[in-house]
Structure 1
Amino acid sequence: MADAARAFPTDVSQQTGLTGFDEALAVVAQNSQKTREQRKVADESIEALRKTGFMRALLPARWGGLEMRPQDFFRAQVQVAEADMSTAWAGGIIAVHPFQIALMDERAQHDVFADNPDTYVSSSYNPVGAKVEQVDGGVMLSGRWGWSSGSEHCTWALLGGVVAGEGYRTFLVPRSDYEIEDTWFSMGLQGTGSNDVVIAEPVFVPDYRSHKQVDGFNGVHNQESALYDLPWAQVFIRVVSSASIGAVKHALSLFMENSANSSTDATKMQNDPDITRRLAEVRNLVSEVESVMYANFDAMMDLLEAGKTIPIEDRVLYRYQASLVIEKMIKAVDLLFDVAGGRSVFTGSPIQQLWNDVHIGRAHVANNPVGFGRNLGGVMLGGENKDMFI
């Protein structure tokens, strides 16, 4: 991507303190095709991000983590997505899990991170395929979980399930207790490696390796930093939408670069009211979703660092705003793709791949705004919040 064509110049290395981040982005970009073809993030890309500290961004300092401000973490993830959306999606999800594990029992944190702060954990939170039986000291867990992004890079998994008479929990399971089935054949985000996790025969999961949804909602943890007072949901929901922002930035830069290098007289595009209007709208949509995201985290962290709590009404609003990101980015990438030219229809077109990636991101349940909008409207009219994942 030519520097002159970049519509959103940034320097995440200076903003976050991540070491060698620009070099890592180059590795991610160089391996984007390999990532797509092998249907999982290239090992070289994961290793390059590891060296910067990105994978430990949200890990507590006492386990060797950076305890990075969420604003900076998401700025970094967005820029990874400019290099490759699949890498940002899967890598971001892996990197966000230390935050949830930091909210769990001290013994669970020790099991995962005591020997290696770069231990990687995947997840699948959908409880539909899970079977949970309570026994003394824990549960017997079995089932099938889909969409476990980055799972082949990981030695633990966070798996959702419902405990009878109690409700939803996330269970932390070591790699020795589950199998990964290669099921990820998709039209977009091919490189996320979002395969199935399978536990055919029930395995024992001690209670201390589980996280109750109500504890995540109430902010229960044993960390010193105010970072972990941040509701877990507010962190996770952003990691499955923010990669689309970087993908649209990439698409816009590609469009501008192609226009600059086109054999067509460039002034024709500069004077084309439809093209110029589309570019302005895309630029504004990206600015809008980024501004809202960073403002929300600024507001939440200011309250938490002052020893205050985040009002439920704000949490409901922020949840809804996060769910709108993909839809706005779909609108943005559609505006570009519609006028990207005849070559964009051929298989292998870079802008077509980005179009597919952004659209596939909408399939994640967290990116469907309908229920979250209804909840927000109900709360605004004096009703009770109906969402525990805010």
Structure 2
Amino acid sequence: MPGQVLRRGDLSAAGQVAALAARHAEDSDAHRTLSPEVIEELIRVGFCRHFVPQRWGGVAGTFTELLAATATVGAGCTSAAWCASLAAGAGRLGAFLPEDGQRELWGDGPDALVVAGLTPTGTASEVPGGWLVRGEWRYVSGVESSDWAFVCGPGPESGQGPMFFLVPRADYRVLDTWFPTGMRGTGSNTVVVDGAFVPRHRAFLRESMWRGHSVGSTARCHTVPLRVASGLLFAAPALGAARGAIAAWSARLGGTRDPASGDRAAGHRDLAWAAGMADAAGLLLQRAAQVADQPSVTPLEAVRNPMDCALAVEQLVNAVQRLFRAAGTSGQFAGEPLQRFWRDVHFLASHAALRLGTASEPYGRQLAQTARGKAGGPDEAGGG
């Protein structure tokens, strides 16, 4: 499908997606998947091609651009923003395939919708020319509309480490297993592969992705170590959710459902507090995106970025929580955008990549080493 590139600094296209996604948000929540119209628009404006190498017609874009566009979409629908961000991230995995694999994936154009099962739960048996892959991968967002799926499994050779295998849509089926309380519209169902043959040119070692060892591209979006950038893909939709909640609260203050006159000042205080928290979180994420886009990072920056993403999401949860509690009973009815953003941001914050406790320890350790004048080298998949 022809794609309109996400131009640097031009968010008008993302704003169009946000408006469409907002109109469909209640239906997406009810049906546990995005509407075809929203998926088509996400592809049209360029999310799938954002990290595709330029030689295949892609953008090889920046994380700063993706953060801004994803947050814009998220203000309309968190689930749509999540699927957009992860589609860009899954497409980025293609840059680690051998050249023939990239040609098979993008030879007909850069807008293939790729999804990914990141946990190495499957198996791969080596056969002449490739592998037979089988297994189940849970929580694969946007899979119903996908063209390809990267699935992860243990490498068939001892000590080799996990591998990613690229499987075409005809070789996997989808189980309807997605019944969550939040992020319902992501359609994060289960991928099942029943002994599909994957040729060697459609596989790569997971370690290559961790360390940024891409094939045929020197663009920073392909050479940045994974830990420096991955948190942004999951945190950006939360920034949009908080902005959407703030917009919903502002409408309540200025619309027909104003709080009682005695509560108006309190409503303004709640709004200011939430907006300030969201702005602070946005600045943290913007810094993290700028670091990911740098030609190289220091060991301290490498471990600070995951912490910044987790801390930002913690602040965004608090911002939405403040507004939701202040809304009272009327804000909790089905169909109210505020309760949907509240469910989404709490659910999103539970993702493993956004756990503050896990992310803060390496950063604190590196800070202590730096303060003692003993700055250590990069951790695994750290600076680079």
TM-score, with structure 1 as normaliser: 0.87
Offset at 1:335? 0.6
Match of 1:16 in 2: 9
Going from structure 1 to structure 2, the CA distance change for 1:195 and 1:269 (only over 3 Å counts) comes to same
Match of 2:140 in 1: 148
Moved more, 150-159 or 357-366: 357-366
User: Match of 2:235, SS?
Assistant: coil
Match of 2:311 in 1: 324
Moved more, 280-289 or 245-254: 280-289
Offset at 1:365? 1.5
CA distance in 2, matches of 1:296, 1:68: 15
CA distance in 2, matches of 1:228, 1:341: 46
Going from structure 1 to structure 2, the CA distance change for 1:144 and 1:187 (only over 3 Å counts) comes to same
Match of 2:235 in 1: 241
Residue type of the alignment partner of 1:207? R
CA distance in 2, matches of 1:280, 1:263: 19
Moved more, 17-26 or 242-251: 17-26
Check if 1:55 corresponds to 2:48.
yes
Match of 2:255 in 1: 261
- Retained in 2: the 8 A contact 1:18–1:53? no
- Retained in 2: the 8 A contact 1:124–1:147? yes
CA distance in 2, matches of 1:178, 1:157: 8
Offset at 1:177? 1.8
Superimposed CA distance per residue, residues 61-94 of structure 1 (whole angstroms, 9 cap, x where no aligned partner): 2211122222111100001011111111112211
Offset at 1:263? 5.3
2:280 to 288, 304, 322: 288
1:377 to 361, 364, 369: 364
Superimposed CA distance per residue, residues 25-59 of structure 1 (whole angstroms, 9 cap, x where no aligned partner): 32222222222222111110111222222332222
- Retained in 1: the 8 A contact 2:306–2:354? no
Match of 1:39 in 2: 32
Offset at 1:299? 3.5
- Retained in 1: the 8 A contact 2:14–2:73? no
CA distance in 2, matches of 1:264, 1:363: 33
Match of 1:357 in 2: 344
CA distance in 1, matches of 2:61, 2:114: 18
Number of paired residues? Answer: 370
Residue type of the alignment partner of 1:352? Q
Root mean square deviation of aligned Cα: 2.5
Going from structure 1 to structure 2, the CA distance change for 1:197 and 1:118 (only over 3 Å counts) comes to same
In the TM superposition, 1:91-106 aligns within 5 A as 91-106=84-99
CA distance in 2, matches of 1:282, 1:19: 25
Superimposed CA distance per residue, residues 155-208 of structure 1 (whole angstroms, 9 cap, x where no aligned partner): 2111122224121222211122211111111111111000000123x2232333
Going from structure 1 to structure 2, the CA distance change for 1:108 and 1:233 (only over 3 Å counts) comes to farther
Going from structure 1 to structure 2, the CA distance change for 1:233 and 1:194 (only over 3 Å counts) comes to same
- Retained in 2: the 8 A contact 1:96–1:235? no
CA distance in 2, matches of 1:67, 1:16: 15
Going from structure 1 to structure 2, the CA distance change for 1:193 and 1:314 (only over 3 Å counts) comes to same
- Retained in 2: the 8 A contact 1:100–1:232? no
Offset at 1:22? 3.4
Q: Percent identity?
A: 26
Moved over 6 A (4+): none
Going from structure 1 to structure 2, the CA distance change for 1:277 and 1:389 (only over 3 Å counts) comes to farther
CA distance in 1, matches of 2:335, 2:257: 21
- Retained in 1: the 8 A contact 2:229–2:289? no
TM-score, with structure 2 as normaliser: 0.88
- Retained in 1: the 8 A contact 2:71–2:237? yes
* Long gaps (5+) in structure 2: 370-375
Residue type of the alignment partner of 2:362? N
Residue type of the alignment partner of 1:91? A
User: Match of 1:146, SS?
Assistant: strand
Match of 1:159 in 2: 151
1:216 to 191, 194, 209: 209
Superimposed CA distance per residue, residues 258-284 of structure 1 (whole angstroms, 9 cap, x where no aligned partner): 011245577534533xx4443232112
Residue type of the alignment partner of 1:33? E
CA distance in 2, matches of 1:389, 1:212: 17
CA distance in 1, matches of 2:204, 2:366: 27
Offset at 1:314? 1.2
- Retained in 2: the 8 A contact 1:375–1:385? no
- Retained in 2: the 8 A contact 1:379–1:385? no
Match of 2:373 in 1: none
Residue type of the alignment partner of 1:247? A
Match of 1:7 in 2: none
CA distance in 1, matches of 2:257, 2:282: 34
- Retained in 1: the 8 A contact 2:226–2:381? no
CA distance in 1, matches of 2:42, 2:377: 42
1:338 to 298, 309, 325: 325
